[in-house]
Amino acid sequence: MRGKSISIAILFIQIILYNNNMNAQNEHPFWGDLNDAYKHSNLMLDNKAINILFAKLPKPKDFVGQIGLSLELPEPKNEEEALIIVNTIDSLCRKFFYNVKNGIYYSPVSKIKERFGENPSDRIGISSGGYYRLFVAYWTFQIKLSKYQSENISRYGYGNNYMLDQLLAIFENSLSGNFFPTPGPFKVSDQERHERIQAMLDRCAPSMTINELYEGADLKKTRWPIIK
């Protein structure tokens, strides 16, 4: 009788966790993007993956972590969890470059003007081509993520509430570091930047070239020139 009661209690807890995850995923601004990314990579976004990606993270103790800028990844509990983490980052990466190629963005382009006070074409001097699509895809992704993190900080006190949030932040950082680096004390050579971008393309978009991504770009405005 006791064993049956324990089984019922476990089932009840599983139902609660499932319902919590369902609410979390339906409310998450990147839920649709995650679904699309998995489908694009022919991966199954099953309940195991959802439970891992929507597992709540503890509140970081340091300020950098609390504002969502920590790039530390929680240690995977097992090989299955590690694989889901890798698959998620890779699928987000593949879908990002697919979006760049096809002019698909993560939020309205008007959000860029709200952020910078300029339309993308005014800011980078072009209104079409590979670099325009790269610029708009990245910044609509970044703006959408930063808005969500700000909302999390207001509600929970820290920016990355779920495992998925941490993966999105890590992916965003890899994009910004390669394509839109901010000035700082750490200098990256043109050659190293070129190699990082090429490695990302080899992994996520092997049919694309760096020249294609920078089509139409004013190399002086890309901060660091791309080596031809």
Report the candidate in 163, 176, 209 with the shortest Cα–Cα distance to residue 52.
163
* Calpha distance 26→189 (Å, rounded): 42
* Percent of the chain whose pLDDT exceeds 90: 63
Q: Is 228 within a domain?
A: no
* Calpha distance 135→213 (Å, rounded): 10
Q: Is 141 within a domain?
A: yes
pLDDT band at 4 (very low <50, low <70, confident <90, very high): low
pLDDT tens digits, one per residue of 211-228:
999 999 887 766 555 554
pLDDT tens digits, one per residue of 60-93:
888 877 888 777 777 888 999 999 999 999 999 9
Q: Domain range holding 103?
A: 2-222
Q: Is 10 within a domain?
A: yes
pLDDT tens digits, one per residue of 182-204:
766 667 788 888 899 999 999 99
Q: Is 202 within a domain?
A: yes
Least confident range of 154-158, 186-190, 204-208: 186-190
Q: Is 13 within a domain?
A: yes
Output the pLDDT for position 20: 54
The length of the chain is 228
- Percent of the chain as helix, strand, coil, to the nearest 5: 65, 0, 35
Query: Residue 6 pLDDT more than 90?
Result: no
When pLDDT is averaged across residues 145-168 and rounded to a whole number, the result is 94
Output the pLDDT for position 62: 84
Residue type, 187: K
Q: Is 227 within a domain?
A: no
pTM listed for this prediction: 0.86
- What HEC string does 74-127 produce? CCCCCHHHHHHHHHHHHHHHHHHHHHHHHCCCCCCCHHHHHHHCCCHHHHHCCC
Distance in angstroms between the alpha carbons of the first and the last residue of the chain: 74
Query: Residue 3 pLDDT more than 80?
Result: no
pLDDT tens digits, one per residue of 84-125:
999 999 999 999 999 999 999 999 999 999 988 999 999 898
CB 190 within 8 A of CB 225: yes
Looking at the chain, the number of H-run helices and the number of E-run strands are: 11, 0
Number of domains in the chain: 1
